[in-house]
Structure 1
Amino acid sequence: MLELRGAKVETTDNIPDRTRSFASGKFDKISAVLALQRPDGHIQLDFPAEDAIDLQTPRLDAPESTNQPPTREHDIDSKKQLTAKLDSDLVSVPPLMSICILIVGTRGDVQPFLAIAQRLQRDGHRVRLATHAVYRDFVMSHDVEFYPLGGDPKELAAYMVKTGGHLIPTKIETLTKDVPRNRTMINEIVLSTWPAVSEADPDGGGPGVPGPPFRAQAIIANPVSYGHIHVAERLGVPLHIMFPQPWVPTMAFPHPLSNLAYTGNPLKRNYLSYKLVDLIMWHGTEGMINEFRTEVLKLRPIRNGDLGS
């Protein structure tokens, strides 16, 4: 019996051979079996009762056949030997996870994340890449699981061309026709992020045939998938934002959608540019995001001052 994180864990002899192979190292007086069987990723340890010692303060055996206290030199040598032994015997095994990658954009935005997905798969993780439906064949041809997000990448790219990359379009026609359509697409993307991290792919087993159940234990996303932080909050899982441009507040670079020029020097205005651009973007998505949070995710709405986006 071992108490782990305040809970008593029963020892077991029915651990599969596949799991035993993870722990090849052995202590002289401790036999440990690491079993990644718990769904929450915690490691179950089995210590024989007679070998229960305080691992925080390892004991040093006194030198044999002597009545003299150990010398300082012997003490140092023994500690070095024990440290080397522990380093060689301990095996670090990260928990295997179900990871969802949320990507909005063109094929050029999707492709780098395929390499990340494949690398994670080689480490034993289950990885799903959720992006626009037109990329299903492209993603699955690389033996990576898929889930369709809303939105059309061609329309998104066309909108950016029409607006010249401006957050606030300057042409009346764009404001009256293209902005409402773009908001509709963003809403489709946001709504699709929840099933992307929590449901089976509706066509994962072939057209009309659902794939295996899925629930993300970690999320990787680019910023323009919008729903990432909210679904991560709903699941209570870690979120890692990745983007080829700076997107998190820093003094090193200005926000890529701001008009500030890069000077090579750390500036406070660079840091503030992220806050201001986020505020403008939030005003354009506040309604749909809060509706998504309250109606779909059953979370509280984001209040003024939270600056969620």
Structure 2
Amino acid sequence: MHYGIITFGSRGDVQPYIALAVELIQQGHSVSIVGNENFTDFVATYGIPFYPLPVDSQKILQSPEIAGILKSGNVITYLRALGKIIRKGQAAVLQKMVGDCKTFDVLIATPLTVAWVFSVAECLNKPWAIVQLTVPSVPTAAFPYLGLDFFNAPVYNRFTYRLMRWLFWKEHKKDIQEQRVLLNLPPLEKPLPEKIDEQQVLQLHAFSRFLLERPSDWPAGADITGFLDLKAAGQSSGTEHAIRQWLEQGTPPIYIGFGSFPVPDPSVFYGILEHLLNHTDERYIFCQGWSKPTELPQSSRIFEVKAIDHSWLFPQCKLAVVHGGIGTVGAGLRAKIPVVVVSVLGDQPIWGRFVKRKGWGTHLPFKKLTAQKLLHAIRAADQEAISTSVQQVGHMMEQENGAAVAVSKLEAYFKTPAQLSRMPTDV
């Protein structure tokens, strides 16, 4: 069977699906990935066919318009500005996506491509499923939507999901209906989440069950698999000899990195790094990611890298200061080190509060960041109680193989009569 994985966004929105693709290939399937064009070289290193969409997410996030919004931390403004930019090229993206997906037997949507794939699958009469990495949106009475977890009561919990679904449809209805016009499809008469429920689309949540247990009132098509760890799926990346040498020259360092989110206010942040060097004896690794290059404080106790394999580096670190994307948080927990989440926007504050509540680290919004507050957050996370808690959850997470579980569930789902009836006759 030929799986087409359609993803979009940052490296954290691509790397886990490479792990899924590798596992699918090991189980005898063909797999291709469709994604934004700036990941062409990255995906190619794993030997997986890649179909680039005419969008460069790195350039978008590094644009002056988005940079200013990241500095403010306003998620609504960010999403609207991002949507406006993407909307300009939506016709070309959809045309390319439809052309690419014609050759696939089944489609896999990711969090940022659900609306597109829903309509593309309908247009091409292809079965599809969702594999998502972020906050669960499947309604339950067991816990509230994590962004609204002010208290826990069954009636309130279910209300939070209704509210979020209403907000989603209010914000995205116009775009989704315009997409359907471009694909010559009739407009949706019901909100997209309701249509997904009606189709009983498989929804896999690719994070650890030790973060959240699967609620007993979820429908049969919703499940939790464990993280899609690239190393667990059979791939690993090394690091340069210079980094190895530096690591061997002293105590385990503190990792600091914001991944694919550019540092919102470089002048403030690099001043904070200098403060940390002047007021602690710690060593630091700074991962530049998609932040624009700039001159770091000069010190033998700081080492800068462009990108790094977290599964290799984190076990050699004392703790990790990260932006709070769930993939990076999961990498820290699997490495059994405390996590300090300095959240920018999106689901990052949600996971930051979650980490703090679980006793696995601390949380500090970037817009409130100062040198003293970051130093306090690091020292608060570097405590024996937190270290013990992280060790416990890390050991439990080691027993999971999210990619293998996800593949097993996808195989079972796409073999069901309801799904087979929607597949091409030559499959």
Q: TM-score scaled by structure 2?
A: 0.39
| Aligned-residue identity in percent | 28
Deviation at 1:118, TM superposition (A): 1.3
User: Greater RCO between the two (CA within 8 Å, min separation 6)?
Assistant: 2
Q: Of the candidates 187, 199, 206, which is equivalent to residue 100 of structure 2?
A: 199
Q: How many residue pairs end up in the alignment?
A: 186
Deviation at 1:164, TM superposition (A): 2.7
Please give the alpha-carbon distance, in whole angstroms, between the structure 2 residues aligned to 1:183 and 1:133. Answer: 19
Partner of 2:326: none
Please give the alpha-carbon distance, in whole angstroms, between the structure 1 residues aligned to 2:187 and 2:28. Answer: 37
> Once superposed, what is the RMSD of the aligned Cα atoms?
2.9
Partner of 1:285: 172
Please give the alpha-carbon distance, in whole angstroms, between the structure 1 residues aligned to 2:38 and 2:11. Answer: 10
Please give the alpha-carbon distance, in whole angstroms, between the structure 2 residues aligned to 1:259 and 1:133. Answer: 35
Matches within 5 A, 1:95-244: 97-154=1-58, 155-156=60-61, 158=66, 161-162=70-71, 164=73, 166-167=75-76, 169=77, 179-180=80-81, 182-186=83-87, 188=89, 192-193=93-94, 195-199=96-100, 214-225=102-113, 226-244=115-133
Q: Of the candidates 173, 185, 188, which is equivalent to residue 302 of structure 1?
A: 188
1:86-124 residue CA offsets vs partner (Å, 9 max, x unmatched) = xxxxxxxxxxx2211111221122111101111112223
Partner of 1:31: none
Residues 106 and 237 (structure 1), Cα distance of their counterparts in 2 relative to 1, 3 Å cut: same
1:6-57 residue CA offsets vs partner (Å, 9 max, x unmatched) = xxxxxxxxxxxxxxxxxxxxxxxxxxxxxxxxxxxxxxxxxxxxxxxxxxxx
Given that 1:102 and 1:193 are in contact with CA atoms closer than 8 Å, whether structure 2 keeps it comes out as: no
Deviation at 1:156, TM superposition (A): 4.8
Please give the alpha-carbon distance, in whole angstroms, between the structure 1 residues aligned to 2:177 and 2:167. Answer: 16
Deviation at 1:288, TM superposition (A): 2.4
Higher relative helix content: 2
List gaps (5 residues or longer) in structure 1. Answer: 1-96, 201-213
Please give the alpha-carbon distance, in whole angstroms, between the structure 2 residues aligned to 1:165 and 1:248. Answer: 25
Please give the alpha-carbon distance, in whole angstroms, between the structure 2 residues aligned to 1:141 and 1:248. Answer: 35
Deviation at 1:187, TM superposition (A): 5.9
1:172-192 residue CA offsets vs partner (Å, 9 max, x unmatched) = xx7xxx835532315635752
Residues 165 and 274 (structure 1), Cα distance of their counterparts in 2 relative to 1, 3 Å cut: farther
Residues 186 and 274 (structure 1), Cα distance of their counterparts in 2 relative to 1, 3 Å cut: farther
Q: TM-score scaled by structure 1?
A: 0.52
1:237-295 residue CA offsets vs partner (Å, 9 max, x unmatched) = 22221222213223334334x4333x5x5623333323322222222222222122123
Please give the alpha-carbon distance, in whole angstroms, between the structure 1 residues aligned to 2:41 and 2:21. Answer: 15
Residues 110 and 248 (structure 1), Cα distance of their counterparts in 2 relative to 1, 3 Å cut: same
Partner of 1:62: none
Please give the alpha-carbon distance, in whole angstroms, between the structure 2 residues aligned to 1:229 and 1:190. Answer: 16
Please give the alpha-carbon distance, in whole angstroms, between the structure 2 residues aligned to 1:240 and 1:162. Answer: 35
